[in-house]
Structure 1
Amino acid sequence: MFKTTDLYDKYLEGLQVAAPLFRDFGGKVCFSGQIVTLKALEDNTYLKASFETNGAGKVLVVDGAASMRCAMMGDVMAALGASNGWEGVVINGCIRDSADVAKVNIGVKALGTIPRKTVKRDQGVMDIPLRFADVVFKPGEYLYADEDGIVLSKEKIA
């Protein structure tokens, strides 16, 4: 088990530290893994497709452009990700069904909650660098998250 504070103290400026924008919603508060990225605005088609694949050792980072108009994920999607081994998801946007998401064994960080679901338009872009929360999330690099925040590393450190 790691602590982001200890990782920061050990590696200092070798790590990126995300701005403290996110709330914890999942059943796992402490999670880490190799970054897989998705950019999608108010459409979770690609999020679902990602969670249908083997996510062992991976964290999905979703840039929903900080939209507060609809939820990118709910309890059914969280359960799908957990059942396929995903360690967690970080969403620059909202989720829904938060009480039920909290019962699922997956890490979930998001900006907030809203009841409205997305519209399925089959739109999104996978595996590109994403810039939000004062950091750049790069596919293949590593994310470490706990109750104190998120740190990013170019290589696996814990």
Structure 2
Amino acid sequence: MSEATTMDKENFVTCDLLDAHPESQVCLPNIEGKSFYSFGGKDRFCGEIVTVKCFEDNSRVKELLNSDGTDKNGDGKVLVVDGGGSMRCALLGDMIAESAIVNGWAGVVIYGCVRDVDDMAQMELGVMALGCIPRKSNRRDEGQTDIEISFGDLTLNSGMFIYADNNGMIASDSALL
């Protein structure tokens, strides 16, 4: 990025942000043989983190991304989901992704899988996940929100900030932009 270019939420590069803020956490490019890939229509997104921990149950994911102005509304935030790295079912599909857009979420990061990827690729939403699978998750009304989660050398809490682009993801305790 040239010196004359000012970085903002629509125009940043994680490499440049990390150079300017070397104390930031960096997500490893390969976690136990798995890597994050971009599945959304936006290949660059950032925002304040809301954390969810769930395993093969997307009840909390749907609940939060469906929020309609409550204390958990999107407002440019990024939902970060610790799905335990499961590759057996998807925690996000096109219908829930559409709810995220309607409710103002900037993006979703899933340590797990997504589905309906052709449709999501056309949506104005950032989506990073380990992979895709056509199987949907079961809904058992399980999962925890606003707890510390860890994956890929990241330790994240709600209220932190995450920045994602084609170079990878970085996280910080405070806003970098």
Bin of the TM-score, shorter chain as denominator length: over 0.9
Larger radius of gyration: 2
Structure-1 residue corresponding to 2:171:
152
What CA deviation, in whole Å up to 9, does each residue of 1:2-50 have, x standing for no partner? 11000011111x1000011200000111000000000001111110110
Alpha-carbon offset, residue 83 of structure 1: 0.9
| Off by >3 Å, runs of 4+ in structure 1 | none
What CA deviation, in whole Å up to 9, does each residue of 1:59-117 have, x standing for no partner? 00000000011000111111110110000000000000100011111100000010100
Tell me the TM-score normalised to structure 1 length.
0.97
Aligned residues: 157
Secondary structure of 1:99's aligned partner: helix
Higher helix share: 1
Structure-2 residue corresponding to 1:27:
41
Of 3, 7, 25, 2:13 maps to 3
Unaligned segments of structure 1, at least 5 residues? none
Alignment pair present for 1:50 and 2:64? yes
Q: Which amino acid aligns with 2:25?
A: Q
Q: Which amino acid aligns with 2:103?
A: N
Secondary structure of 2:91's aligned partner: strand
Structure-1 residue corresponding to 2:111:
92
What CA RMSD, in Å, does the superposition of the two structures yield over aligned residues? 0.7
Structure-2 residue corresponding to 1:68:
87
Structure 2 Cα separation of the partners of residues 129 and 139 of structure 1: 8
Structure 2 Cα separation of the partners of residues 132 and 152 of structure 1: 12
Higher strand share: 1
Structure 2 Cα separation of the partners of residues 29 and 129 of structure 1: 26
Unaligned segments of structure 2, at least 5 residues? 1-10, 30-34, 68-72
Alignment pair present for 1:122 and 2:131? no
Secondary structure of 1:7's aligned partner: helix
What CA deviation, in whole Å up to 9, does each residue of 1:98-153 have, x standing for no partner? 00011111100000010100111000000001010111011101001111000001
Tell me the TM-score normalised to structure 2 length.
0.87
Structure 1 Cα separation of the partners of residues 173 and 80 of structure 2: 15
Secondary structure of 1:48's aligned partner: helix
Structure-1 residue corresponding to 2:152:
133
Alignment pair present for 1:81 and 2:100? yes
